[in-house]
């Protein structure tokens, strides 16, 4: 035991105590780093779950957007069809009004040329109107 009491023995004991203290300090740091790594792994796992959820939501949004696009295209096509039909109906009404006006003019004795000019009806149609509805020449 005298050897341990010597300055070299005391130095060895101090070195060993320092090594043990340093080892304990490193173990403490390792435990802290391990906790931080576990916390980061849990955080990353949660982020991955959120990313999966968001991906599903984005796919549903994309599907809904596509359905809206198709419905919009269908609505535009329907609207164009209705516009064409309204145009045809308008032409028919204008044609009927023009024909009625031409019949009235023919009954009043207006010439074929004047009827065609004032109603926009082709002269061949005006001739038929005058033939059937014009004043009789007795």
Instruction: Give the separation between CA 71 and CA 52, rounded to whole angstroms.
Output: 29
Q: What pLDDT, on the 0 to 100 scale, is given for residue 68?
A: 97
Backbone angles phi, psi at 31, to 5 degrees: -65, -45
| Neighbour tally for 121: CB within 10 Å | 19
Neighbours of 11 (CB within 10 A): 10
Domain boundaries, the chain: 39-138
103 burial via Cβ count (<10 Å: 0-12, 13-18, 19+): middle
Low-confidence residues of the chain: pLDDT under 70: 1-4, 90-95, 136-138
Rg (CA), the chain: 50
């Amino acid at each position: 035991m005298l050897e341990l009491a010597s300055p070299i023995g005391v130095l060895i004991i101090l070195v060993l105590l320092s090594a043990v203290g340093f080892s304990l300090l490193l173990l403490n740091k390792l435990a802290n780093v391990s906790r931080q790594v576990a916390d980061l792994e849990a955080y990353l796992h949660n982020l991955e779950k959120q990313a999966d959820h968001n991906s599903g939501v984005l796919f549903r949004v994309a599907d809904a957007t596509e359905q809206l696009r198709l419905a919009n295209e269908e609505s535009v096509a329907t609207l164009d069809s209705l516009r064409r039909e309204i145009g045809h109906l308008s032409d028919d009404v204008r044609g009927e009004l023009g024909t009625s006006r031409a019949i009235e003019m023919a009954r009043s004795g207006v010439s074929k040329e004047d009827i065609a000019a004032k109603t926009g009806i082709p002269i061949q149609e005006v001739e038929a109107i005058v033939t059937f509805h014009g004043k009789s020449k007795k």
